[in-house]
Structure 1
């Protein structure tokens, strides 16, 4: 376990100091009562042998009070520990979830969805179990060991030394095994994350898998992932499960040695039967926590490995935020100045890009797949930061403003639509939850989605689930387009926004977009070149570079890459 993980756990528990102190105080009280009870039992046994019934009754009353009080304490402690730990874990899960929304896409792109889900759900649950065991068993065991040593020393320091001298054997065995099990638990959590990632990927794409008859291959891959997870789990459980029987065996030998030594001292007259009974009870109480702690250690290894994965997310640096940006201040002039960017430093993509887009201009970006068209948009949206150079909005670097304010000025429609599990109204008003029904209907009408929405059983109140699986791809895309019309942005980005819509509807949507684009800076990524011939500026990108720039007529006259692309699509370009 990394030291930073331990410090983070301590800081997490320190958020509720009153609960924490009450738990520690309650645990100490329980141990004191538990340690005091054998003393009363020993006295009672000696009084029975002496035949002193009156004194015996008083001792029995004390024993009853101790047992009753101990029962109340033991009833309180689990309730308090559960409230503390589950409350803190709820906060931690919320922290991790909130953190994911503040992390740069460059980090999230390297993570799988299944693994992130496993961290927030499964790993946090495992950490919860581990922390509960710390309070329910670990602290109790530590306090029991310390107080028992003190009490045994007061009874007979020679026998106490025997116990203390032999007990480290069980600790050494437990520590050796726990260290090995921790490595297996780390491999187990990693394998569990890979398995969750595979399941998320395969279940979400079942229709695609079946259409390509790839079930057998996915089943083989799952067998492999499942076998690895089972192997590491079995190895971790087997190794950790050897701790308890090993320490129990050593402690049993210690108990037998003490019983023999105590019998010899009774025969020598230096010990009473009651004192031996009390001491053997203490010896049992002293060794039992080692058994409990050894079993807790195996669980803690898994919990700490999970904690490390959770805090690894929280330790990531947030994206830096700038000052606020008012919508009335935005004109829409965009400049790329000597911009360099690559996803992989060893594979340059965009180099020394210079581009000036006047406010209100309609810019089309074309080029082959992988040319960098979407990358250009990602940089403008600040999904990624440029490696060198800068992007200016109305003459000011976009890094000057917060991402939230910058993106509020931009409306974006992607080729791949996303529909959340909610009503159609909520999906159209996504990002603008205060939008009225009238505004949502107007947006749907502008996007030509109103007709099919009214055909649905509940109209705008129809609940969509599973990513809008009940709708066609074209209908889902119309809903995504309607989102833009709810709150009109100053900058518009269309990334193949009408690719899944039939030709007749596309003409209507294009007419609506044409109205929307007036007075707004617009970026259009398109593969169907017939849809962008009216653009003010057409950028032709190849391998991350703008190789041609101009309007349709200028580029056709130049007879370069754009001319060849138009020719290959059989467009009427004259």
Structure 2
């Protein structure tokens, strides 16, 4: 199993969530690139736009027709009241107008349904394409990309950011179209009734925006403080409850509670200020709006007495003036959402633009692998400076090679180069005389099996986790592999046996049992070359014996590379490579290295002394 596969099991810790209002660095370029994902669905989008416009227009016409019905009712009633001969309420005309009104609203609902249906398919298809592209990209990224970033950040880009794009396409885009059409339509309808009253409505709206703008700026500052403090509070709570035993053991409860109270008090202050200031906005808008309604009613009433407009038009105009504020506010909110969406899209496109692993120009296949490995003048560095310089190693088929050295010596780096997770700066690595760069990576990695110190198991049954090592493995092969790894007994003691479902963290089995399952998976894969990280450091002595037996069986007849932390476990290795600062400074058997009385002897004796002292 490769380290890339293992990386898939990490949780979403450390990822940064995209805050609303965050702006893209290249808004125009990112927006155009995002729109390119909509090109294959341009016919559906045109249909969405047309449906949105028709639906909105029908709604806008409604108050005008209602006004006409009110005018007919008023004129008939007024004529009867004044005793005008032949005056009567024309119920037939009112009925016709109401039928037309009902028909318009029904048609508006139908077109709105069509618009939402089409837009849902457009948004989901677009999100599907984005997720597919991101998933394909992740498969092509080199290991250095994952080593250099928190896993949560990558997950956030693939889930949160793409979800935000989908929800914006589904809701905000059609709402934006509807709001623009509504604003234009209402202005046209109000102008057709009375330019003077329209001017009053627009001036009052402008006055509202002018008054609330400084309040919005102040509230945004307090909301930002509230979000920042909330993040601090969540972080503090997570730390204290995750390390609850340590907090108890060191008597840190009072200090933790005091710290919590301080952050909570700060959150209270920021939250109350933010809510209070933002709470002023709506009353002020209502106040200015009500002043506008008073002016419209007074001036409109005066115009009615002068027979400049009808009473039904006044009713329609008041309805329009009430409807006018909502789409303007929605448009402002959607503009902010679009900023955040484009910023999210930019994060996704940054991932899609990451440098991929070098493309392979070969299809060389090793039909049979003996397991001979050779490092020839290998140079490698993560940056400009070289970590490994002029490394030369010769490993015969079936040999067990132990790699030892202090932290940061380059032990894991050597394994990463062997499996071609990183590309060499110079030299070459050969397997059975074939340069690994002349093999497809997938073909090369099939020659290796890995058992790491940090186990990786996925959510699924035990049988499925073992079968991960071989495509199309039969139940019999899985059971034989489990027996070989000394895992069969504990599996059968579980309530569901091999069908027992492991949770996301595989916390329903012990650490040692997890390690036995990873060994069983490697046994099933039956690779010619094994890579073993010290797998017994976190288990009890009895389990360590089982794991050691399983690993010895696994290494039998195979070329094995063992990263050793406890030197007592690799005494029988055919070759021990002693690494320090990226170089192999000593190599040989356990006895010859002890006899040389060098770096390895000092390392071994220091561990032995520590054990005796313990």
TM-score by length of 1: 0.80
Deviations 1:84-136 (A, max 9, x none): 54665566566556655554443434544555556655666565555554146
| Aligned-partner Cα distance in 1 for 2:288–2:443 | 66
Three-state SS of the structure 2 residue aligned to 1:328 is coil
Residue in structure 2 matching 1:271, options 296, 309, 320: 309
| Aligned-partner Cα distance in 1 for 2:273–2:459 | 40
Three-state SS of the structure 1 residue aligned to 2:367 is helix
1:60-209 matches, within 5 Å, as 60-78=98-116, 81-82=119-120, 84-85=122-123, 88-89=126-127, 92=130, 99-100=137-138, 102-113=140-151, 130-135=168-173, 137-161=175-199, 163-164=201-202, 167-170=205-208
User: Is the contact made by 1:481 and 1:497 (CA closer than 8 Å) also made in structure 2?
Assistant: no
Query: What's the counterpart of residue 462 of structure 1?
Result: 500
Shift of the alpha carbon at 1:411? Answer: 0.9
Query: What's the counterpart of residue 28 of structure 1?
Result: 53
Residue in structure 2 matching 1:328, options 367, 375, 385: 367
Which deviates further from its counterpart, 147-156 or 364-373?
147-156
Q: 1:246 to 1:329 in 2, by over 3 A?
A: farther
User: Is the contact made by 2:466 and 2:524 (CA closer than 8 Å) also made in structure 1?
Assistant: yes
| Aligned-partner Cα distance in 2 for 1:382–1:492 | 15
Matching of residue 339 in structure 1 with residue 364 in structure 2: no
User: Is the contact made by 1:327 and 1:409 (CA closer than 8 Å) also made in structure 2?
Assistant: no
Query: What's the counterpart of residue 492 of structure 1?
Result: 530
Deviations 1:313-353 (A, max 9, x none): 445444444255535275653425342324x77xx671424
Residue in structure 2 matching 1:565, options 603, 606, 613: 603
Three-state SS of the structure 2 residue aligned to 1:548 is strand
| Aligned-partner Cα distance in 1 for 2:270–2:376 | 51
User: Is the contact made by 2:183 and 2:327 (CA closer than 8 Å) also made in structure 1?
Assistant: yes
Residue in structure 1 matching 2:389, options 346, 352, 367: 352
Give ranges in structure 2 of 5+ residues lacking alignment.
1-22, 77-88, 610-614
CA RMSD of aligned residues (A): 4.3
Residue in structure 2 matching 1:427, options 457, 465, 488: 465
Shift of the alpha carbon at 1:374? Answer: 1.7
Query: What's the counterpart of residue 437 of structure 1?
Result: 475
| Aligned-partner Cα distance in 1 for 2:447–2:227 | 42
| Aligned-partner Cα distance in 2 for 1:132–1:240 | 28
Q: 1:439 to 1:552 in 2, by over 3 A?
A: same
Query: What's the counterpart of residue 365 of structure 1?
Result: 403
Give ranges in structure 1 of 5+ residues lacking alignment.
none
Q: 1:320 to 1:136 in 2, by over 3 A?
A: same
| Aligned-partner Cα distance in 1 for 2:366–2:239 | 39
Query: What's the counterpart of residue 389 of structure 1?
Result: 426
Query: What's the counterpart of residue 31 of structure 2?
Result: 6
Which deviates further from its counterpart, 451-460 or 194-203?
194-203
Shift of the alpha carbon at 1:50? Answer: 3.6
User: Is the contact made by 1:31 and 1:143 (CA closer than 8 Å) also made in structure 2?
Assistant: yes
TM-score by length of 2: 0.76
Query: What's the counterpart of residue 83 of structure 2?
Result: none
Query: What number of residue pairs does the alignment pair up?
Result: 564
| Aligned-partner Cα distance in 2 for 1:191–1:28 | 43
Which deviates further from its counterpart, 499-508 or 535-544?
499-508
Deviations 1:111-169 (A, max 9, x none): 44555556655666565555554146432211111122233344444544554566445
Query: What's the counterpart of residue 546 of structure 2?
Result: 505
Query: What's the counterpart of residue 62 of structure 2?
Result: 37
| Aligned-partner Cα distance in 2 for 1:212–1:349 | 43
Three-state SS of the structure 1 residue aligned to 2:556 is helix
Which deviates further from its counterpart, 139-148 or 309-318?
309-318
Three-state SS of the structure 2 residue aligned to 1:108 is helix
Query: What's the counterpart of residue 570 of structure 2?
Result: 532
User: Is the contact made by 1:240 and 1:298 (CA closer than 8 Å) also made in structure 2?
Assistant: no
Q: 1:334 to 1:468 in 2, by over 3 A?
A: same
| Aligned-partner Cα distance in 2 for 1:371–1:93 | 39
User: Is the contact made by 2:523 and 2:554 (CA closer than 8 Å) also made in structure 1?
Assistant: no
User: Is the contact made by 1:33 and 1:66 (CA closer than 8 Å) also made in structure 2?
Assistant: yes
Q: 1:444 to 1:379 in 2, by over 3 A?
A: same
Deviations 1:262-291 (A, max 9, x none): 344334443332333333333333333123
Which deviates further from its counterpart, 295-304 or 478-487?
295-304
| Aligned-partner Cα distance in 2 for 1:205–1:57 | 73
